[in-house]
């Protein structure tokens, strides 16, 4: 069923309809601009459901092996839009690699449609090879950025140095008053409390 948040395009071959261009196709998600101008991922199939998105080749079908998403294109020249959807796509792939314990740098884990065609598992289609280079990116830079994000997600936090925050409870010109306060805070359970002379 079409969604009201997915946009339409001028050619009326958008995927927010039954059988775009007369084809029976469905990706797992779309990345693009919502009506309010924000960039988002819109999931259209469960991640573990077989999609019908990449066609096939002499060695099988990418539909049987890969999760797919479509990055909605603009005129291919808006750097701000490209950077926003590219970032969203790397974050989605990092999430999926973590979820399914995949190495984004391993062969055949993250591929563009055109790479699937070269491997004999997808139809002949240029995405995203016709767009990424216009903004200085490639599938190799994409995979490297996903790896970097995934490494940050998986980095152990227990090795971070422990931070200590000290709380001063008063400053006294009479030592007896300082001693009285120290006695109170130690009685309250603060065993490491101390008096510092300046």
- 13 vs 171, residue with greater confidence: 171
Report pLDDT for 157.
60
Taking the C-alpha atoms of residue 15 and residue 5, their distance in angstroms, rounded to an integer, is 12
Report pLDDT for 2.
45
State the residue for tokens 């092996």: 65
Tokens linked to 135: 């903004």
What is the pLDDT averaged over residues 179-194?
Answer: 76
The per-residue pLDDT for range 51-92, each reduced to its tens digit, is 888 888 999 999 899 999 999 888 899 999 999 999 999 999
Taking the C-alpha atoms of residue 182 and residue 176, their distance in angstroms, rounded to an integer, is 10
For the domain spanning 20-154, the CATH number is 3.40.80.10
Pairing of strands 39-43, 29-33: antiparallel
Domain ranges in the chain?
Answer: 20-154, 166-197
Prediction pTM value: 0.71
Q: Is the pLDDT of residue 156 over 80?
A: no
What is the pLDDT averaged over residues 168-192?
Answer: 76
Tokens linked to 8: 């339409």
By the 8 A CB rule, do 54 and 60 touch?
Answer: no
Report pLDDT for 164.
62
Taking the C-alpha atoms of residue 36 and residue 26, their distance in angstroms, rounded to an integer, is 24
């Amino acid at each position: 069923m079409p969604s009201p948040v997915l946009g339409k395009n001028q050619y009326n071959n958008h995927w927010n309809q039954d059988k775009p261009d007369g084809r029976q196709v469905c990706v797992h998600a779309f990345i693009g601009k919502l009506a309010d101008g924000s960039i988002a991922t819109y999931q259209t199939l469960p991640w573990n459901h077989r999609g019908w998105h990449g066609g096939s080749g002499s060695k099988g079908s990418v539909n049987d092996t890969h999760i797919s998403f479509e990055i909605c294109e603009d005129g291919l020249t808006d750097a701000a839009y490209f950077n926003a959807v590219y970032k969203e796509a790397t974050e989605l792939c990092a999430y999926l690699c973590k979820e399914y314990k995949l190495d984004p740098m391993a062969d055949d884990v993250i591929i563009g449609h055109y790479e699937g065609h070269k491997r004999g598992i997808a139809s002949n289609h240029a995405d995203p090879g016709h767009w990424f280079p216009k903004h200085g990116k490639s599938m190799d830079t994409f995979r490297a950025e996903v790896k970097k994000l995934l490494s940050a997600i998986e980095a152990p936090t227990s090795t971070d140095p422990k931070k200590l925050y000290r709380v001063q409870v008063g400053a006294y010109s009479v030592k007896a008053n300082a001693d009285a306060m120290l006695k109170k805070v130690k009685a309250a359970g603060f065993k490491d409390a101390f008096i510092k002379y300046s």
